Amino acid sequence: MDKVITISRQYGSGGREIGQKLADAWGIPFYDNELITRAAKESGFAEAAFESAEARANNSLLYSIARGTAHFSGQDMGFSVSNLSLDDKLYIAQAEVIRKCAAEGPCVIVGRCADYILRKRDDLVNIFVYADMEFRKERAIRIDHMEEEKIESAILKIDKRRANYHNFHTGEKWGRIENYSLCVDSGRIGTDKAAEVIRLYVESL
Amino acid sequence: MDKVITISRQYGSGGREIGQKLADAWGIPFYDNELITRAAKESGFAEAAFESAEARANNSLLYSIARGTAHFSGQDMGFSVSNLSLDDKLYIAQAEVIRKCAAEGPCVIVGRCADYILRKRDDLVNIFVYADMEFRKERAIRIDHMEEEKIESAILKIDKRRANYHNFHTGEKWGRIENYSLCVDSGRIGTDKAAEVIRLYVESL
Protein backbone atom coordinates (compact mmCIF):
# COMPACT_ATOMS: atom_id res chain seq x y z
CA MET A 1 0.00 0.00 0.00
CA ASP A 2 1.72 3.16 -1.21
CA LYS A 3 -1.02 5.73 -0.63
CA VAL A 4 -1.71 8.60 1.74
CA ILE A 5 -5.21 8.09 3.18
CA THR A 6 -7.29 10.85 4.73
CA ILE A 7 -10.45 10.12 6.66
CA SER A 8 -13.16 12.72 7.20
CA ARG A 9 -15.99 11.57 9.42
CA GLN A 10 -19.23 12.45 11.11
CA TYR A 11 -18.91 12.48 14.87
CA GLY A 12 -19.71 9.04 16.32
CA SER A 13 -19.38 7.21 13.01
CA GLY A 14 -16.21 5.43 14.12
CA GLY A 15 -14.07 7.07 11.45
CA ARG A 16 -11.14 7.47 13.81
CA GLU A 17 -11.32 3.82 14.88
CA ILE A 18 -11.54 2.73 11.23
CA GLY A 19 -8.49 4.86 10.42
CA GLN A 20 -6.55 3.18 13.24
CA LYS A 21 -7.58 -0.28 12.01
CA LEU A 22 -6.43 0.57 8.49
CA ALA A 23 -3.09 1.93 9.67
CA ASP A 24 -2.57 -1.19 11.79
CA ALA A 25 -3.49 -3.47 8.89
CA TRP A 26 -1.05 -1.74 6.57
CA GLY A 27 1.61 -1.16 9.22
CA ILE A 28 1.77 2.59 8.52
CA PRO A 29 1.58 5.66 10.78
CA PHE A 30 -1.75 6.97 12.02
CA TYR A 31 -2.17 10.70 12.72
CA ASP A 32 -4.99 12.18 14.72
CA ASN A 33 -4.43 14.00 18.00
CA GLU A 34 -0.82 12.96 17.61
CA LEU A 35 -0.79 15.58 14.90
CA ILE A 36 -1.22 18.28 17.49
CA THR A 37 1.61 16.88 19.58
CA ARG A 38 3.85 16.69 16.57
CA ALA A 39 2.95 20.19 15.42
CA ALA A 40 3.60 21.45 18.91
CA LYS A 41 7.00 19.76 19.14
CA GLU A 42 8.20 20.79 15.71
CA SER A 43 7.18 24.36 16.14
CA GLY A 44 8.42 24.61 19.68
CA PHE A 45 4.93 25.31 20.92
CA ALA A 46 3.46 24.11 24.14
CA GLU A 47 0.89 21.44 23.30
CA ALA A 48 -1.78 23.28 25.25
CA ALA A 49 -1.57 26.24 22.92
CA PHE A 50 -2.69 24.07 20.02
CA GLU A 51 -5.57 22.43 21.81
CA SER A 52 -7.76 25.47 21.60
CA ALA A 53 -7.54 28.36 19.21
CA GLU A 54 -8.78 30.55 22.00
CA ALA A 55 -6.22 29.29 24.51
CA ARG A 56 -3.65 31.98 24.02
CA ALA A 57 -3.12 34.95 21.79
CA ASN A 58 0.63 35.07 21.63
CA ASN A 59 0.47 36.53 18.17
CA SER A 60 4.07 37.46 17.61
CA LEU A 61 5.29 33.96 18.45
CA LEU A 62 2.57 32.36 16.31
CA TYR A 63 3.46 34.74 13.56
CA SER A 64 7.04 33.59 13.47
CA ILE A 65 5.93 29.96 13.52
CA ALA A 66 3.53 30.48 10.67
CA ARG A 67 6.26 32.23 8.71
CA GLY A 68 8.90 29.70 9.61
CA THR A 69 6.91 26.61 8.70
CA ALA A 70 4.68 27.71 5.82
CA HIS A 71 5.91 27.10 2.28
CA PHE A 72 4.26 30.22 0.95
CA SER A 73 4.46 33.85 1.86
CA GLY A 74 1.25 35.41 3.08
CA GLN A 75 1.95 38.49 0.99
CA ASP A 76 2.01 36.38 -2.18
CA MET A 77 -1.50 35.26 -1.45
CA GLY A 78 -2.86 38.73 -1.08
CA PHE A 79 -3.00 38.97 2.68
CA SER A 80 -0.66 40.01 5.42
CA VAL A 81 0.35 37.24 7.80
CA SER A 82 0.29 39.67 10.69
CA ASN A 83 -3.41 40.22 10.03
CA LEU A 84 -4.22 36.53 10.28
CA SER A 85 -6.31 35.37 13.21
CA LEU A 86 -4.80 33.04 15.77
CA ASP A 87 -7.01 30.33 14.31
CA ASP A 88 -5.59 30.88 10.81
CA LYS A 89 -2.04 30.75 12.10
CA LEU A 90 -2.72 27.48 13.89
CA TYR A 91 -4.21 26.15 10.67
CA ILE A 92 -1.10 27.10 8.71
CA ALA A 93 1.20 25.42 11.23
CA GLN A 94 -0.95 22.27 11.30
CA ALA A 95 -1.11 22.20 7.50
CA GLU A 96 2.66 22.22 7.40
CA VAL A 97 2.82 19.27 9.79
CA ILE A 98 0.28 17.37 7.68
CA ARG A 99 2.38 17.98 4.57
CA LYS A 100 5.47 16.70 6.35
CA CYS A 101 3.71 13.56 7.58
CA ALA A 102 2.52 12.77 4.06
CA ALA A 103 5.95 13.48 2.61
CA GLU A 104 7.43 10.82 4.89
CA GLY A 105 5.39 8.11 3.18
CA PRO A 106 2.09 6.21 3.32
CA CYS A 107 -0.03 7.05 6.36
CA VAL A 108 -3.60 7.54 7.57
CA ILE A 109 -4.63 11.05 8.64
CA VAL A 110 -7.97 11.72 10.32
CA GLY A 111 -9.67 15.11 10.07
CA ARG A 112 -8.07 18.57 10.09
CA CYS A 113 -8.72 19.32 6.41
CA ALA A 114 -5.94 16.92 5.38
CA ASP A 115 -8.01 16.01 2.31
CA TYR A 116 -7.82 19.60 1.14
CA ILE A 117 -4.29 20.37 2.32
CA LEU A 118 -2.88 17.36 0.42
CA ARG A 119 -5.12 17.71 -2.65
CA LYS A 120 -2.21 18.05 -5.06
CA ARG A 121 -0.69 14.68 -4.18
CA ASP A 122 -1.32 11.94 -6.77
CA ASP A 123 -1.13 9.26 -4.09
CA LEU A 124 -3.96 10.77 -2.03
CA VAL A 125 -7.14 8.82 -1.27
CA ASN A 126 -9.88 10.68 0.60
CA ILE A 127 -12.46 8.66 2.52
CA PHE A 128 -15.66 9.88 4.21
CA VAL A 129 -17.26 7.86 7.02
CA TYR A 130 -20.82 8.51 8.20
CA ALA A 131 -23.57 6.65 10.02
CA ASP A 132 -27.17 6.83 11.19
CA MET A 133 -27.93 8.71 14.40
CA GLU A 134 -28.66 5.59 16.50
CA PHE A 135 -25.23 4.13 15.76
CA ARG A 136 -23.57 7.44 16.56
CA LYS A 137 -25.50 7.93 19.81
CA GLU A 138 -24.56 4.47 21.05
CA ARG A 139 -20.87 5.09 20.35
CA ALA A 140 -20.94 8.60 21.83
CA ILE A 141 -22.34 7.22 25.09
CA ARG A 142 -20.20 4.08 25.25
CA ILE A 143 -16.87 5.48 24.09
CA ASP A 144 -16.96 9.21 24.82
CA HIS A 145 -19.26 8.88 27.86
CA MET A 146 -21.54 11.56 26.48
CA GLU A 147 -24.67 12.36 28.52
CA GLU A 148 -27.84 10.80 27.08
CA GLU A 149 -29.86 13.94 27.55
CA LYS A 150 -29.87 16.14 24.45
CA ILE A 151 -27.29 13.84 22.86
CA GLU A 152 -28.64 14.25 19.34
CA SER A 153 -28.24 18.01 19.35
CA ALA A 154 -24.79 17.62 20.93
CA ILE A 155 -23.72 15.27 18.12
CA LEU A 156 -25.08 17.56 15.42
CA LYS A 157 -23.28 20.47 17.05
CA ILE A 158 -19.93 18.68 16.77
CA ASP A 159 -20.64 17.89 13.11
CA LYS A 160 -21.58 21.50 12.52
CA ARG A 161 -18.26 22.58 14.05
CA ARG A 162 -16.33 20.16 11.83
CA ALA A 163 -18.21 21.34 8.76
CA ASN A 164 -17.65 25.01 9.62
CA TYR A 165 -13.95 24.43 10.25
CA HIS A 166 -13.57 22.63 6.94
CA ASN A 167 -15.67 25.02 4.90
CA PHE A 168 -13.95 28.06 6.37
CA HIS A 169 -10.42 26.84 5.72
CA THR A 170 -10.98 25.18 2.36
CA GLY A 171 -13.83 27.08 0.73
CA GLU A 172 -15.25 23.64 -0.09
CA LYS A 173 -18.24 21.90 1.39
CA TRP A 174 -17.56 19.21 4.00
CA GLY A 175 -19.23 15.93 3.13
CA ARG A 176 -19.65 16.69 -0.58
CA ILE A 177 -19.35 13.38 -2.43
CA GLU A 178 -16.94 14.55 -5.12
CA ASN A 179 -14.29 15.43 -2.54
CA TYR A 180 -13.87 11.77 -1.65
CA SER A 181 -13.00 8.55 -3.46
CA LEU A 182 -15.20 6.44 -1.21
CA CYS A 183 -17.97 7.29 1.27
CA VAL A 184 -19.00 4.54 3.64
CA ASP A 185 -22.00 4.28 5.97
CA SER A 186 -20.33 2.45 8.88
CA GLY A 187 -23.60 2.26 10.81
CA ARG A 188 -24.96 -0.58 8.71
CA ILE A 189 -21.89 -2.84 8.75
CA GLY A 190 -19.81 -1.72 11.76
CA THR A 191 -16.26 -0.43 11.90
CA ASP A 192 -14.43 -3.74 11.25
CA LYS A 193 -16.25 -4.40 8.01
CA ALA A 194 -16.16 -0.74 6.97
CA ALA A 195 -12.36 -0.91 7.31
CA GLU A 196 -12.33 -4.03 5.12
CA VAL A 197 -14.37 -2.30 2.39
CA ILE A 198 -12.08 0.74 2.44
CA ARG A 199 -9.06 -1.57 2.35
CA LEU A 200 -10.38 -3.37 -0.73
CA TYR A 201 -10.99 -0.03 -2.47
CA VAL A 202 -7.53 1.34 -1.69
CA GLU A 203 -5.78 -1.90 -2.60
CA SER A 204 -7.65 -1.89 -5.94
CA LEU A 205 -5.99 1.38 -6.92
CA MET B 1 -27.66 -12.00 -1.01
CA ASP B 2 -31.15 -11.06 0.17
CA LYS B 3 -31.15 -7.32 -0.50
CA VAL B 4 -32.74 -4.91 -2.95
CA ILE B 5 -29.98 -2.74 -4.41
CA THR B 6 -30.55 0.62 -6.04
CA ILE B 7 -27.84 2.39 -7.99
CA SER B 8 -27.87 6.12 -8.61
CA ARG B 9 -25.07 7.34 -10.84
CA GLN B 10 -23.48 10.26 -12.59
CA TYR B 11 -23.70 9.94 -16.35
CA GLY B 12 -20.62 8.16 -17.72
CA SER B 13 -19.55 6.74 -14.36
CA GLY B 14 -20.40 3.20 -15.39
CA GLY B 15 -23.09 2.82 -12.75
CA ARG B 16 -25.37 0.91 -15.07
CA GLU B 17 -22.57 -1.49 -16.07
CA ILE B 18 -21.66 -1.98 -12.41
CA GLY B 19 -25.30 -2.74 -11.61
CA GLN B 20 -25.39 -5.36 -14.35
CA LYS B 21 -22.16 -6.95 -13.06
CA LEU B 22 -23.59 -7.14 -9.56
CA ALA B 23 -26.87 -8.65 -10.73
CA ASP B 24 -24.93 -11.23 -12.76
CA ALA B 25 -22.65 -12.05 -9.83
CA TRP B 26 -25.61 -12.59 -7.51
CA GLY B 27 -27.83 -14.18 -10.15
CA ILE B 28 -30.68 -11.73 -9.54
CA PRO B 29 -32.78 -9.54 -11.87
CA PHE B 30 -31.45 -6.24 -13.18
CA TYR B 31 -33.88 -3.42 -13.98
CA ASP B 32 -33.02 -0.39 -16.06
CA ASN B 33 -34.72 0.35 -19.37
CA GLU B 34 -36.43 -2.99 -18.92
CA LEU B 35 -38.36 -1.16 -16.25
CA ILE B 36 -40.06 0.96 -18.89
CA THR B 37 -40.96 -2.10 -20.96
CA ARG B 38 -42.36 -3.81 -17.93
CA ALA B 39 -44.31 -0.76 -16.84
CA ALA B 40 -45.65 -0.44 -20.35
CA LYS B 41 -46.76 -4.06 -20.52
CA GLU B 42 -48.33 -4.18 -17.10
CA SER B 43 -50.26 -1.01 -17.59
CA GLY B 44 -51.29 -1.84 -21.12
CA PHE B 45 -49.43 1.21 -22.40
CA ALA B 46 -47.56 1.48 -25.63
CA GLU B 47 -43.86 1.55 -24.76
CA ALA B 48 -43.38 4.73 -26.72
CA ALA B 49 -45.71 6.61 -24.41
CA PHE B 50 -43.36 5.99 -21.51
CA GLU B 51 -40.20 6.96 -23.29
CA SER B 52 -40.92 10.65 -23.15
CA ALA B 53 -43.19 12.49 -20.81
CA GLU B 54 -44.02 14.82 -23.63
CA ALA B 55 -44.81 12.04 -26.09
CA ARG B 56 -48.54 11.90 -25.59
CA ALA B 57 -51.13 13.50 -23.37
CA ASN B 58 -53.70 10.77 -23.13
CA ASN B 59 -54.73 12.01 -19.71
CA SER B 60 -57.84 10.01 -19.09
CA LEU B 61 -56.08 6.71 -19.79
CA LEU B 62 -53.08 7.72 -17.67
CA TYR B 63 -55.46 8.77 -14.96
CA SER B 64 -57.00 5.35 -14.78
CA ILE B 65 -53.57 3.73 -14.75
CA ALA B 66 -52.39 5.98 -11.96
CA ARG B 67 -55.53 5.18 -9.99
CA GLY B 68 -55.40 1.49 -10.73
CA THR B 69 -51.77 0.93 -9.78
CA ALA B 70 -51.05 3.50 -7.06
CA HIS B 71 -51.43 2.35 -3.46
CA PHE B 72 -52.63 5.72 -2.26
CA SER B 73 -55.46 7.96 -3.23
CA GLY B 74 -54.47 11.34 -4.62
CA GLN B 75 -57.20 12.98 -2.58
CA ASP B 76 -55.72 11.64 0.67
CA MET B 77 -52.50 13.43 -0.13
CA GLY B 78 -54.16 16.75 -0.70
CA PHE B 79 -54.18 16.83 -4.48
CA SER B 80 -56.51 15.69 -7.19
CA VAL B 81 -55.11 12.95 -9.44
CA SER B 82 -56.84 14.53 -12.41
CA ASN B 83 -54.75 17.65 -11.84
CA LEU B 84 -51.46 15.74 -12.01
CA SER B 85 -49.20 16.40 -14.96
CA LEU B 86 -48.51 13.66 -17.46
CA ASP B 87 -45.03 13.51 -16.02
CA ASP B 88 -46.37 12.89 -12.49
CA LYS B 89 -48.69 10.17 -13.71
CA LEU B 90 -45.83 8.42 -15.47
CA TYR B 91 -43.84 8.68 -12.26
CA ILE B 92 -46.66 7.07 -10.27
CA ALA B 93 -46.99 4.19 -12.74
CA GLN B 94 -43.22 3.63 -12.78
CA ALA B 95 -43.07 3.77 -8.98
CA GLU B 96 -45.65 1.03 -8.82
CA VAL B 97 -43.60 -1.14 -11.16
CA ILE B 98 -40.49 -0.54 -9.06
CA ARG B 99 -42.39 -1.59 -5.92
CA LYS B 100 -43.56 -4.75 -7.63
CA CYS B 101 -40.05 -5.63 -8.83
CA ALA B 102 -38.68 -5.21 -5.31
CA ALA B 103 -41.55 -7.22 -3.82
CA GLU B 104 -40.60 -10.15 -6.03
CA GLY B 105 -37.23 -10.50 -4.31
CA PRO B 106 -33.58 -9.37 -4.41
CA CYS B 107 -32.74 -7.32 -7.50
CA VAL B 108 -30.64 -4.40 -8.77
CA ILE B 109 -32.49 -1.28 -9.92
CA VAL B 110 -30.69 1.59 -11.65
CA GLY B 111 -32.01 5.15 -11.51
CA ARG B 112 -35.63 6.32 -11.59
CA CYS B 113 -35.76 7.40 -7.94
CA ALA B 114 -35.91 3.75 -6.83
CA ASP B 115 -33.85 4.71 -3.75
CA TYR B 116 -36.63 7.05 -2.67
CA ILE B 117 -39.59 4.97 -3.82
CA LEU B 118 -38.38 1.95 -1.83
CA ARG B 119 -37.10 3.90 1.20
CA LYS B 120 -39.37 2.07 3.65
CA ARG B 121 -37.94 -1.38 2.87
CA ASP B 122 -35.54 -2.72 5.49
CA ASP B 123 -33.70 -4.76 2.87
CA LEU B 124 -32.84 -1.70 0.75
CA VAL B 125 -29.23 -0.73 0.00
CA ASN B 126 -28.69 2.50 -1.93
CA ILE B 127 -25.43 2.96 -3.82
CA PHE B 128 -24.12 6.08 -5.58
CA VAL B 129 -21.52 5.80 -8.35
CA TYR B 130 -19.56 8.80 -9.60
CA ALA B 131 -16.28 9.50 -11.40
CA ASP B 132 -13.96 12.21 -12.61
CA MET B 133 -14.78 13.96 -15.88
CA GLU B 134 -11.98 12.32 -17.90
CA PHE B 135 -13.25 8.84 -17.09
CA ARG B 136 -16.80 9.86 -17.96
CA LYS B 137 -15.80 11.52 -21.25
CA GLU B 138 -13.91 8.45 -22.39
CA ARG B 139 -16.89 6.20 -21.66
CA ALA B 140 -19.41 8.59 -23.25
CA ILE B 141 -17.39 8.60 -26.48
CA ARG B 142 -16.56 4.88 -26.54
CA ILE B 143 -19.88 3.44 -25.37
CA ASP B 144 -22.52 6.03 -26.20
CA HIS B 145 -20.69 7.41 -29.25
CA MET B 146 -21.09 10.93 -27.97
CA GLU B 147 -19.51 13.72 -30.05
CA GLU B 148 -16.22 14.99 -28.62
CA GLU B 149 -17.14 18.60 -29.18
CA LYS B 150 -18.77 20.19 -26.14
CA ILE B 151 -18.87 16.79 -24.47
CA GLU B 152 -18.30 18.12 -20.97
CA SER B 153 -21.31 20.40 -21.07
CA ALA B 154 -23.37 17.58 -22.61
CA ILE B 155 -22.41 15.28 -19.72
CA LEU B 156 -23.17 17.90 -17.10
CA LYS B 157 -26.53 18.54 -18.77
CA ILE B 158 -27.51 14.88 -18.41
CA ASP B 159 -26.49 14.95 -14.74
CA LYS B 160 -28.49 18.11 -14.26
CA ARG B 161 -31.53 16.40 -15.77
CA ARG B 162 -31.11 13.40 -13.47
CA ALA B 163 -30.72 15.65 -10.45
CA ASN B 164 -33.76 17.73 -11.39
CA TYR B 165 -35.87 14.62 -11.96
CA HIS B 166 -34.84 13.20 -8.61
CA ASN B 167 -35.17 16.42 -6.65
CA PHE B 168 -38.57 17.19 -8.18
CA HIS B 169 -40.09 13.80 -7.44
CA THR B 170 -38.52 13.16 -4.05
CA GLY B 171 -37.97 16.58 -2.50
CA GLU B 172 -34.50 15.30 -1.61
CA LYS B 173 -31.16 16.23 -3.09
CA TRP B 174 -29.65 13.83 -5.63
CA GLY B 175 -26.11 12.84 -4.69
CA ARG B 176 -26.44 13.76 -1.00
CA ILE B 177 -24.24 11.33 0.93
CA GLU B 178 -26.77 10.42 3.62
CA ASN B 179 -29.20 9.02 1.04
CA TYR B 180 -26.79 6.19 0.24
CA SER B 181 -25.04 3.42 2.15
CA LEU B 182 -21.99 3.53 -0.07
CA CYS B 183 -20.68 6.07 -2.61
CA VAL B 184 -17.93 4.88 -4.93
CA ASP B 185 -15.68 6.82 -7.28
CA SER B 186 -15.47 4.29 -10.12
CA GLY B 187 -13.06 6.49 -12.09
CA ARG B 188 -10.08 5.60 -9.94
CA ILE B 189 -10.53 1.82 -9.89
CA GLY B 190 -12.74 1.00 -12.91
CA THR B 191 -16.11 -0.73 -13.05
CA ASP B 192 -14.95 -4.30 -12.29
CA LYS B 193 -13.26 -3.34 -9.05
CA ALA B 194 -16.00 -0.89 -8.09
CA ALA B 195 -18.47 -3.77 -8.40
CA GLU B 196 -16.24 -5.88 -6.13
CA VAL B 197 -16.13 -3.14 -3.48
CA ILE B 198 -19.92 -2.75 -3.57
CA ARG B 199 -20.30 -6.52 -3.38
CA LEU B 200 -18.11 -6.70 -0.27
CA TYR B 201 -20.14 -3.94 1.38
CA VAL B 202 -23.50 -5.55 0.58
CA GLU B 203 -22.35 -9.02 1.60
CA SER B 204 -21.11 -7.58 4.91
CA LEU B 205 -24.65 -6.53 5.83
- Do B205 and A183 make contact, defined as CB atoms within 8 angstroms? no
**Whether pLDDT at A65 is above 50:** no
Q: Which residue of B has its CA nearest to A133?
A: B178
Q: How distant is the Cα of B97 from the closest Cα of chain A, in angstroms?
A: 27
pLDDT-derived band at A111 (thresholds 50, 70, 90) equals confident
Query: Which of B 120-159 lie inside 8 A of A, CB atoms?
Result: 125, 128, 130
Residue of A176, A182, A188 lying closest to B184 (CB–CB): A182
- In this prediction, residue A115 has a pLDDT band, given cuts at 50, 70 and 90, of very high
Domain boundaries, chain B: 1-29+106-205, 32-103
The residues with which B110 forms a beta bridge, in sequence order, are B7
Would the CB atoms of A205 and B188 count as touching at under 8 Å? yes
Q: Inter-chain contact B184–A185, Cβ cutoff 8 Å? A: no
Q: Is B174 on the interface with A (CB under 8 A)?
A: no
Average pLDDT over residues A12-27: 97
Going A197 to A165 to A56 to A76, the CA torsion angle's sign is positive
- Percent of chain A past pLDDT 70, that is, above it, reads 74
B183 touches chain A (CB under 8 A): yes
Nearest to B204 by CA among A198, A40, A99: A198
Residue B74 confidence class, pLDDT cut points 50, 70, 90:
very low
Q: Please provide the average confidence, as pLDDT, over all residues in chain A.
A: 82
What pLDDT was estimated at residue A180? 96
Residue of A nearest to B194 (CA): A201
pLDDT above 50: residue B103: yes
| Out of B128, B193, B201, closest to residue A204 by CB | B193
pLDDT band at B119 (very low <50, low <70, confident <90, very high): very high
- What pLDDT is attached to residue B91? 79
Q: What is the pLDDT of residue A133?
A: 97
> CB-based contact (8 Å) between B119 and chain A?
no
Residue A165 in contact with partner chain B when CB distance is under 8 A: no
Query: Residue range B25-40: average pLDDT?
Result: 79
Determine the pLDDT at residue A170.
87
Q: Is the pLDDT higher at B36 or at B196?
A: B196
Q: Which residues contact A28 (CB under 8 A, 6 or more apart)?
A: A1, A105, A106, A107, A108
Nearest chain A alpha carbon to B125: A188
Query: How far is Cα A187 from Cα A198, in angstroms, rounded to an integer?
Result: 14
Distance CA A145, CA B55 (A): 60
State yes or no: pLDDT of B44 exceeds 90.
no
pLDDT at B83 over 80: no
pLDDT at B194: 98
Query: What sections of chain A are H helices per DSSP?
Result: 15-26, 34-43, 47-51, 59-69, 86-103, 114-117, 133-142, 151-170, 186-203
Pairwise CA distance, residues A65 & A42, whole Å: 10
Query: CB–CB of A183 and B180 under 8 A?
Result: yes
Name the CATH superfamily for B1-29+106-205.
Answer: P-loop containing nucleotide triphosphate hydrolases (3.40.50.300)
pLDDT mean across residues, chain B: 82
User: Tell me, what's the pLDDT at B159?
Assistant: 93
Q: What is the pLDDT of residue A44?
A: 52
ipTM: 0.82
CATH architecture under which domain A1-29+107-205 falls: 3-Layer(aba) Sandwich (3.40)
Q: What is the pLDDT of residue A60?
A: 37
Judge: B181–A201 Cβ closer than 8 Å, yes or no: no
